[in-house]
Amino acid sequence: MAKGRHWVALWLVAFLVTTWLVYARQTAAIRAARELADLRARRANLDGHRADLERRIRAAESRAVLVPRAQARLGLHLPSDSEIVLVPAPSGSR
């Protein structure tokens, strides 16, 4: 009779341990999945932020924006070809 109780207790403990392992594993997996989802969201957010900044940089450095500002604020103008001299670059260190 006592031997039978030991077996029952052993099986019960084994069941509880297995159940706890499954529970712990599932909990960890769900937590990891949440973190993964959060990281993806953050990455998407940063990607969006980068794209927005790149678009604004592109717009800011476009000729449509730069040329009028350079003319108005700095008194610059687009050079005519007579103002452009291409000097052959020195090689120096080969």
Partner 1 sequence: MARPAVRIQVVQFGVLVGLALLVGRAAQVQILHGRRWAEEAQAQRTERIVLQARRGALYDRHGTPLAVTQETYHVGIAPNELRDPVADGALISRRLGLAERTWQQALRRRYAYFAGPYSALEVQPLRSVRGVHLESVLNRFYPDPAVARATIGRLGDEGLGASGIERTLDSLLAGRSGAAVVLKDRAGREYESPARVIAPPVAGLDVVLTLDAELQEIAQRALDDALRRMDADGGDVVMLDPGTGEVLALASRQRDGSARPSAFTDTFEPGSLAKIFAAAALLSLRRVSPTDHVSGEGGKWRVLGRTITDEDPQPSLTLADAIRVSSNIAIAKFAARLTPAEQYATLRDFGFGAFTGIEFPAEATGRLRPPSEWTRPSAASLAMGYELSVTPIQVAMAYGALANDGLLLQPTLIREIRSAGGGVRYRHRPEPVRRVVSREVAVALRNLLRGVVERGTGTEAALTNFPVAAKTGTARRVVNGRYAAGEYTASFAALFPADQPQLVLVVKIDNPHKGSYFAAQTAAPVTRSMLEQALAARTVALDRARLSTAAPRAAAAPADDEGGLVPYVVPWPYQPDSAGVGPRRAVPDVAGLGMREAVRTLHRRGFRVALRGWGVTEHTWPAGGDSAAAGSMVTLFADPHAADRVRSRGAAPPRRGPRR
Residue ranges in 18-37 that form contacts with partner 1 under rule CB under 8 A: 29-30, 33-34, 36-37
- Contact with partner 1 (CB under 8 A) among 47, 60, 68, 69: 47
Amino acid at 30: I
Using CB under 8 A as the binding rule, whether residue 76 contacts partner 1 is answered as no
- Please identify, using beta-carbon distances, which residue of 5 and 63 lies nearer to partner 1: 63
Is residue 78 within 8 A of residue 67, CB to CB? The reply is yes
- Contact with partner 1 (CB under 8 A) among 48, 60, 69, 71: 48
Q: Which residue has the tokens 């000729």?
A: 63
Is residue 70 within 8 A of residue 76, CB to CB? The reply is yes
Using CB under 8 A as the binding rule, whether residue 41 contacts partner 1 is answered as yes
